[in-house]
Amino acid sequence: MSVSSEPLLRELRVLELGHFIAAPFCTRVLADLGADVIKVEPPGGDPVRGWGMQANGQSIWWSVHGRNKRCVTLDVRKPEGREIVLDLVKRCDVVVENFRPGQLEKWGLGPDQLAEARPGIVLVRISGYGQTGPDAHKSGFGVIGEAKGGLRYLGGYPKNVTDLPPPRAGVSLGDSVAGLYGAVGALAAVLDQRSTGAKEARVIDVALGEAVLSLLEGALPEYGLTGKIREPMGSAINTAAPTNAYPCKDGTWLLIAANSDPLFAALCRVMGKPGLADDPRFKDNRGRVEHMAELDAIIAEWTRTLTPQEALEQLEAANIPATKIYTIADVASDQQFRARHMVTTVQDPQLGSVLHPGVVPMVQGLDRDTQIRWAGPPIGYHNREVYEQLLGYSPAKLAELQEKGIV
């Protein structure tokens, strides 16, 4: 079967008016799949360029966060900047933004103005609470969305274990999930337009808290029908057992997920306790969940006698899902990630050789390495290419705009 090696979204052009994480993550997903993404930054650059560890005076994270995008500078608050945005919109299919609701309208760049410039434009709007409702005016970041959406509570510690607050996930999960929904919504709207011939503009409205809430499995309908609040379980799962983190003899932790009946029976054999699978307490998942503490104690007694590698050799031989808990060093050296180029090396002109996560999903016919066309570029790196070649501005006009501080 012949498979095209052309990027999937090569016919899509996206204008990013975002900053920080949610909108830039949305457009990175689209750019990684081949869309022509033009990222507009203020003349000083996106504030996220200053976040995280630095090397050679540059944010290392930016190498990934800004990759595959054409980056231009533009002060959209000024009237001339507004007109340039509309010039760009005329040549784009999608606009992505994550300002507080009403901010684009204050700049004269609301949905009506964008649709007038480019009929049929798809506008993705990512915000803390959405564009409507009593809280729409409030600002919000990923951590707020994670708390409002219920995830921060569920990700906490079981009651009476500690007085520490529920921990953060470690990354801006709420922003990234909202960005993914924004990308899905944009592609769905464009597909509808191109398959039906529809010409009307569409607004894709993504709220951080709603994006997080959508991940909570049965927590909401369970509460609605029974009045019961799903409680934090720490490292366990309240619907299936055994699935937990178990201590090893070197002080590290091993995750084991043997929550189906056949897998649990296999685990019992590996532990040298085949009769445990017939114990009335553990014969089915409902019983194992009810007696989770007793079961986890039995498994932990076994894992404490082994290193993670010793345990994994036995578990993997029995096809039982298990892994040690990876640090980023483990991720970087993992043979599976390496074999599939999910960990890959990118040449960054500012930083040299940098490890990047590969493009997700893997697409048949496309090379994960070459899908990363360039690392996050310097501020204004594509000004001339976009303003002169795409918009047709003369070098003199671009120089004038630079002199005025517009770009």
By annotation, the residues acting in catalysis are 175
The Cα 15–Cα 88 span in angstroms is 7
Q: Please state the separation of Cα 294 from the chain's center in Å.
A: 36
Instruction: Give the Cβ contact number of residue 151 at 10 Å.
Output: 22
Query: Coil, strand, or helix at residue 234?
Result: coil
Instruction: Give the Cβ contact number of residue 316 at 10 Å.
Output: 12
